């Protein structure tokens, strides 16, 4: 058996800080601390402020073949 007192629950994930403001996150809006920070992050994604970097594949350029025709 374990040495925990009865009724103590181990959290499933470690506590993290809000990616927007750094305050502790809450369960209702995880990983954010509030619905406001969650909405700010969503707005940044939708407005294009966040972008995933794209790198052209160098192998396609080195063989001299073009997909354009």
C-alpha span between 15 and 26 (Å, rounded): 9
CA distance 29 to 12: 16
DSSP for residue 42? H
Binding-site members for Zn(2+) are 18, 21, 33, 37
Q: Where are the alpha helices (DSSP H) in the chain?
A: 35-47, 58-62
Residues 52-62: tens digit of each pLDDT: 888 887 655 55
Which residues make up each annotated binding site? 18, 21, 33, 37
Q: What is the pLDDT of residue 25?
A: 92
For residue 15, the model assigns a pLDDT of: 80
Task: Give the end-to-end CA distance of the chain in Å, rounded to a whole number.
Answer: 69
State pLDDT tens for residues 17-48: 999 999 999 989 999 999 999 999 999 999 99
Its pTM stands at: 0.57
């Amino acid at each position: 058996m374990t040495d925990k007192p009865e009724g103590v629950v181990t959290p499933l994930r470690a506590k993290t800080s809000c990616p927007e403001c750094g305050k502790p996150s809450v369960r209702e809006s995880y990983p954010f601390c509030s619905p406001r920070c969650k909405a700010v992050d969503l707005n940044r994604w939708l407005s294009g402020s966040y972008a995933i970097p794209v790198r052209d594949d160098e192998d396609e350029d080195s063989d001299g073949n073009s997909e354009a025709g």
